[in-house]
């Protein structure tokens, strides 16, 4: 494994983007930083500015108002950058599938790399998703 890839996968700074969710997924994301799960073991930290981000965590059903903002935020992120859809709404529109306000699934706007379903997904599920992503990026099976 090259140093470049190792550095990219060992130090993932995540940016938390809520596109109008009910805050359940957001609370579960914050659970990842608590002593019980402690993702800083793997070098994952939450950052406040999109310019520092390596991964964007998208939560919530993408409604009409947030579509242009989500696009703008993704364009501002320094590449290489991955997008992780967290929760049933972000993965596949969830209960808003036939809703008039949320016609766009997240993956029609952003190139999503990982889907983590669940309403909300457990922190273990999120860690498993990120481990799968890292394995895919580094080519290890």
Partner 1 sequence: MIKYLFNYIIFPGFLFTAVIGLVASWIDRKVTARVQWRIGPPWYQPLMDLVKLSIKEITVPRSASKGLFFLSPMIGLSAITLVSTFIWLINIDPGSKGFSGDIIVIIYLLTLPAIAVILGASASGNPLASLGASREIKLVIAYELPFIISLLVPIIKSGGMLRLGDIIAYQASHGAFLSSLSGIIAFIVMIFCMQAKLGLVPFDMAEAETEIMAGTCIEYSGMLLAILKLTKTMLMVALPLFLITLFWQGFNFLSLWKYVILLVIIILMRNTNPRVRIDQAVRFFWGKMTLMAILAVILAVKGI
Site residues for partner 1 per CB under 8 A:
3-4, 6-8, 10-11, 35, 38, 40-41, 43, 47-49, 51-52, 54, 76, 78-80
Q: Is the peptide bond before 102 cis (omega within 30 degrees of 0)?
A: no
CA distance linking residue 115 with residue 130, whole number of Å: 10
CB of 48 vs partner 1, minimal distance in Å: 3
**Residue with smaller CB distance to partner 1, 46 or 92:** 46
CB of 18 vs partner 1, minimal distance in Å: 14
**Residue with smaller CB distance to partner 1, 44 or 89:** 44
Q: Which residues partner with 99 through β-bridges?
A: none
Residue 18 C-beta-side C-alpha neighbours within 13 Å: 12
**Residue with smaller CB distance to partner 1, 13 or 115:** 13
Residues 6+ apart with CB under 8 A from 90: 19, 21, 25, 58, 59, 60, 61, 62, 106, 115
**Residue with smaller CB distance to partner 1, 10 or 135:** 10
CB of 84 vs partner 1, minimal distance in Å: 17
CB of 115 vs partner 1, minimal distance in Å: 25
Q: Which of 51, 91, 59 lies closest to 75, judged by CA?
A: 51
């Amino acid at each position: 494994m090259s140093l470049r890839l190792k550095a990219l996968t060992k130090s993932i700074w995540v940016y938390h983007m809520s596109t109008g969710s009910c805050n359940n997924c957001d609370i579960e994301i914050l659970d990842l930083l608590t002593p019980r799960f402690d993702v800083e073991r793997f070098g994952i930290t939450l950052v406040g500015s999109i310019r520092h981000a390596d991964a964007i965590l998208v939560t919530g059903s993408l409604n009409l108002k947030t579509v242009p903002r989500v696009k703008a935020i993704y364009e501002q992120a320094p590449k290489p950058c991955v997008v992780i859809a967290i929760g049933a709404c972000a993965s596949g529109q969830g209960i808003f599938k036939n809703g008039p306000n949320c016609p766009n699934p997240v993956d029609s706007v952003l190139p999503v790399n990982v889907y983590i379903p669940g309403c909300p997904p457990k922190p273990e599920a999120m860690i498993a998703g990120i481990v799968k992503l890292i394995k895919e990026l580094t080519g290890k099976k």
